[in-house]
Chains A and B, each alone.
Chain A
Amino acid sequence: MNADEISSWIISIIVLTGSVLSLISAFGLIRLPDIYTRSHAATKASTLSVMCILIAAFLFFAVGEGLYSARILLGIVFVFITAPVGGHLISRAAYHTGVTLWDSSIQDQLKEKKRKQRPSSRS
């Protein structure tokens, strides 16, 4: 087994891990009951999957062609920074427009604070 074959095995394993994580995230998006649990599934798992695949692409071009692509690294860093921010903004917008929680949720600690702030929130 030479180095080329080993690196292609490693890249295949990382790419397959990323795509299976993306499939798990899509199943979570289908199966989970309300938007907050769905954003939990959609944000974390798909961020990890896209980072796995981009790292595999970086390794592929670094080993195969000796090309250390800064664009892929920049893409990894950008997705890692912005995907949780996007999930947070969507969950926040959903809560403030009154999308209800799942029926079996036990507590909602934000509700009292929101009711207290209600008169001055839309200034």
Chain B
Amino acid sequence: MIQGILTASAAILSLSILLTLFRVAKGPSMPDRVLALDMMGINLISLTAVVSLIQDTTAYLEVALLLGILAFIGTVAFSKFIEKGVVIERRRD
């Protein structure tokens, strides 16, 4: 029973990643795409967790944590690039 529900929720998560991909492709502005990619990273964390539940292994849990960190760093870098034009500023003196 639980295996079927886990498979169904993995399918629902994949469907939501596909819908997010539509916003990445269409999104009229640049921040739209970055927002959709951020949400795609967060959905990927939950998909990794669901896959590790399906296969009943704890080997993927580091992957979930690491995906969270990388999605956050990517979002911060992209929003700083969009706002200021550079990611790492030069020192002014």
Give the interface of A toward B (CB within 8 A).
8, 11-12, 15-16, 18-20, 22-23, 25-27, 29-30, 35, 38-39, 42-43, 46-47, 49-50, 53-54, 56-57, 60-61, 64-65, 67, 69, 71-72, 74-75, 78-79, 82-83, 85-87, 89-94, 96-97, 99
Main SS class of interface, B: helix
Residue of A nearest to B38 (CB): A86
Q: Are B8 and A72 in contact (CB under 8 A)?
A: no
Contacts of A79 in B (CB 8 A): 42, 45, 68
B residues 36-60 in Cβ contact with A at 8 Å = 36, 38-39, 42-43, 45-46, 49-50, 52-53, 56, 58
- Which chain A residues border B82 with CB–CB below 8 Å? 93-94, 97
Q: Which 9 A-B pairs have the closest CB atoms?
A: A19-B9, A26-B16, A94-B31, A26-B19, A89-B79, A86-B75, A19-B12, A93-B83, A53-B46
Contact of A11 with B2 at beta-carbon distance under 8 Å, contacts A71-B61, A75-B68 already known: yes
- Are A29 and B19 closer than 8 Å at their CB atoms? yes
Q: How far is the CB of B56 from chain A (nearest CB, A)?
A: 8
Q: Is the interface of A mostly helix, strand, loop or mixed?
A: helix
28 CB-based A-B contacts, threshold 8 Å: A15-B5, A15-B53, A18-B9, A19-B8, A20-B12, A22-B13, A23-B16, A26-B16, A26-B19, A27-B19, A29-B19, A50-B46, A54-B49, A57-B53, A61-B58, A65-B58, A69-B58, A69-B61, A75-B64, A78-B68, A82-B68, A83-B42, A90-B35, A92-B79, A94-B29, A94-B32, A97-B29, A97-B30
Report how far A82 CA is from B83 CA in the complex, Å.
19
